[in-house]
Each structure stands twice: as C-alpha cells, then as structure tokens.
Amino acid sequence: MTYDLSPIDKAKFVAAKRATDYVQSGMRVGLGTGSTAAWLVRCLGEMVRDEGLKIKGVPTSSRTAQLARDVGIEVVSLDEARWLDLTIDGADEYDGNLNLIKGGGGALLQEKIVATASDQMVVIADISKQVETLGAFPLPVEVIPFGWQTTKTLIEETLIGLDVLGRTTTLRMNGEAPYYTDEGNHIIDLHLNRIGNARQLSLVLNQIPGVVENGLFIDICDVVVIGYGDGRVEVRDVNKGSVEETRFDFVDNDNIFNEVAD
C-alpha cells in the first residue's frame, strides 16, 4: 500500500486501520461498502497475508466482494455465515446516538441486513460525516422497479405528515439510465434537509408498498471510529459511553503509519 494520500483519505485510512483492532482470527466479519470500507478491506487483506489473520468476510455489495477476493480475504455469503461477530462499514451521516444515514453508495439493503445480523456494528468515518441532526445528506430509499413512480408519489405524500424540512425526491440515475442496486432495485433519494424523528420516518417509509428498505440505521451501530487528516482517531462506544483517542504518525521513509500510544 502506498500512503501518499489526501487528508480525507488519510482520515478514512486511519479510521479503517484503527477499526481492525476489533477483528480477531476466527471471526465472521461483515465488510461494508464505500471508499472508507474499501480501506478496511485492504487493511484486513494485509493482515491476512502478513499476519496470518483468518476470517470469513461477508461482503455487502458485489464491489466489496470483488475487492475482498482480490486482497485474499475468504468470502462467504450471509447464508453460509448465518450470524456475524462484527460488521465494519462506512456511513454518510452519524448523529450523537450513532443513528446513521447510509446508502450513498447504493448498498443500503445488504448493508442493513448484514449489520443487523451482527453482534456488533462499527462505523468508520471521517469527521465530516458527523451531524447534530440527520437529514442534510439525501436519504436513500430502495424501491422495486415495478411502479416506482407510484411509489415515489406515495413517499412524497407520506412525507407531508412527517417532521422533515424538505420533501423533494429524486430517482437516482446512472448516467442517462436509472441506477440499479445489486438486488435489481432502484433508489429514490429523499432531500429532507432535517429529519426530526428518524425512528418514526424509518418505520413509516417501510410501510409503503414498493419500498424495500430505507437508509436510516436506528439503534444498529454500537461504535464509531472517527479519523482525522492529521492521523488522530477517536473511538466512541455508545454502549460503554466511552471516548478514546489514538494517533497514527505518518512516517515518510517506509511508507507506513505508526500507531502512537495514548
């Protein structure tokens, strides 16, 4: 790995690197999707290769599955693993209770299934993902293609009665064509600006026919590992109520980060 990185990539990398402390040999590990999770997969691949780490990885998307195989991680399906010790994934937003918006990368459905089937979910993120109140990031909602325009209208009508600041919805596109998820569904992004009651919104959205799942992760995440561009890492554990800080030093000569004790 080369570490000639931008500050944002350094932040993602150190968060991912610190999160590998949660991984032990023999574990079944859910592997998230996105640029931060990709750092995690590369770090775990190095540990498999150089340290003899033995894990079974359950990827949350075809992209992550490909990367995990490329770096030498044993990949199994969720049905093979059945239940996971740990899932580590990125997020688009996290709040003070570690409730999340996910799905910016389009993988929210598998991500939510895998995280929910895990003893622990650790989110890795740079500090830009931290918010007071969820909702500035558009909330992704996965819908089946059949009748998606009707589903979109139903979502908009449902939003009228809810505590949100914006109600515009857009079909996610991939160039000129609608975006398709790994499950063959579409994503409708909800531009809500501020979500007053995320738990209620999540429950109500999932009642609408045609909606498969939404990107709100409520009471699923246990720990957030926050990386900074200068190598600092903060670990917040919502169950323990603890906050810990570590620091990685960027060493010029040997292209490696050194972890510095507190």
Q: Which residue in the block uniquely carries the two structure tokens 């790994």?
A: 182
Q: Are 187 and 172 a contacting pair, CB within 8 Å?
A: yes
Question: Is 105 a binder of ligand 5RP (CB under 6 A)?
Answer: yes
Question: Is 106 a binder of ligand 5RP (CB under 6 A)?
Answer: yes
Q: Which residue in the block uniquely carries the two structure tokens 């079909």?
A: 171
Question: CB-wise, 34 or 45, nearer to ligand 5RP?
Answer: 34
Rounded to the nearest whole angstrom, what is the least distance from the CB of residue 124 to ligand 5RP in the complex?
8
DSSP letters for 218-231: -S---EEEEE-TTS
Q: Looking only at residues 153 through 192 of this chain, which bind ligand 5RP when binding is defined by CB under 6 A?
A: none
Find the binder of ligand 5RP among 57, 104, 210, 227 (CB under 6 A): 104
Find the binder of ligand 5RP among 30, 45, 59, 90 (CB under 6 A): 90
Question: Is 59 a binder of ligand 5RP (CB under 6 A)?
Answer: no
Question: Is 18 a binder of ligand 5RP (CB under 6 A)?
Answer: no
Find the binder of ligand 5RP among 92, 95, 142, 222 (CB under 6 A): 92
At position 199, the amino acid (one-letter code) is R
Q: Is 232 exposed, middle or buried (0-12, 13-18, 19+ CB in 10 A)?
A: middle
Question: Is 91 a binder of ligand 5RP (CB under 6 A)?
Answer: yes
Question: CB-wise, 154 or 226, nearer to ligand 5RP?
Answer: 226
Find the binder of ligand 5RP among 30, 45, 103, 227 (CB under 6 A): 103
131: which residues sit within 8 A by CB, 6+ positions away? Answer: 93, 94, 95, 137
Picking from 13, 10, 37, 1, the residue whose alpha carbon sits closest to that of residue 121 is: 37
Is 234 annotated in the active site? no
Q: Is 234 exposed, middle or buried (0-12, 13-18, 19+ CB in 10 A)?
A: middle
At position 172, the amino acid (one-letter code) is R
Contact track, ligand 5RP, 186-225, x by CB under 6 A: ----------------------------------------
Find the binder of ligand 5RP among 18, 42, 102, 172 (CB under 6 A): 102
Q: What is the rounded CA–CA span in Å between residue 161 and residue 51?
A: 54
Catalytic residue among 46, 51, 74, 111: 111
Q: What is the rounded CA–CA span in Å between residue 108 and residue 179?
A: 14
Question: Is 34 a binder of ligand 5RP (CB under 6 A)?
Answer: yes
Picking from 124, 134, 100, 131, the residue whose alpha carbon sits closest to that of residue 35 is: 124
Question: CB-wise, 179 or 250, nearer to ligand 5RP?
Answer: 179
Q: Are 102 and 67 a contacting pair, CB within 8 Å?
A: no
Q: Which residue in the block uniquely carries the two structure tokens 């919104």?
A: 201
Rounded to the nearest whole angstrom, what is the least distance from the CB of residue 94 to ligand 5RP in the complex?
10
Find the binder of ligand 5RP among 5, 8, 9, 35 (CB under 6 A): 35
Residues lying near ligand 5RP in the complex (CB under 6 A) are found at 32-37, 89-92, 102-108, 111
Catalytic residue annotation: 111
